[in-house]
Amino acid sequence: MPRILAIDFGEIRTGIAVTDELQIIASGLTTVKTDELIKFLIDYTNKEIVELFIVGKPRQMNNTDSESEKHIFSFLKHLKNSIPTIPIVRIDERFTSKMAVQTMIDSGLKKKQRRNKGLVDEISATIILQSYLYSK
């Protein structure tokens, strides 16, 4: 069975999470520099069968798009052109960064470890992917 890959897009770095082959468990995969993201996704999808991309959709509290949506929109166009065979689904990502930090606290990570923004992005991508799996 193919995997589902989630993306927590950021202007500098992007968190990535992926399901197991049975699409039951979401796990953090890595954090990638955003300017290397398309190449990473092309390489990954050449090695692994990916059925779907889940991309976080940042929203404001009043349900409007956040400022970063324009960057994500540009990325999505590039992704669709680079890997047109894999569909993209958007998921509301409000509060995922706060939830990621809380997850780090709950798991006992020290304050210095919690400052690792790459880890926060990876955990955020995992939360986005887990949200999608719950909604299925």
pTM of this structure: 0.84
Count: domains in the chain: 1
Range of the domain at 20: 3-135
Q: How far apart are alpha carbons 129 and 110 in whole angstroms?
A: 25
Q: How far apart are alpha carbons 127 and 56 in whole angstroms?
A: 10
Q: Is the pLDDT of residue 9 over 80?
A: yes
Give the model's pLDDT for residue 96. 65
CATH code for position 117: 3.30.420.140
For 58, list phi and psi in degrees, rounded to 5. Answer: -75, 130
Residue-wise pLDDT tens digits, 23-76: 999 999 999 999 999 999 999 999 999 999 999 887 666 666 666 788 899 999
- Which of 95, 24, 13, 15 lies closest to 54, judged by CA? 15
Give the model's pLDDT for residue 77. 97
Residue-wise pLDDT tens digits, 114-130: 566 766 788 889 989 98
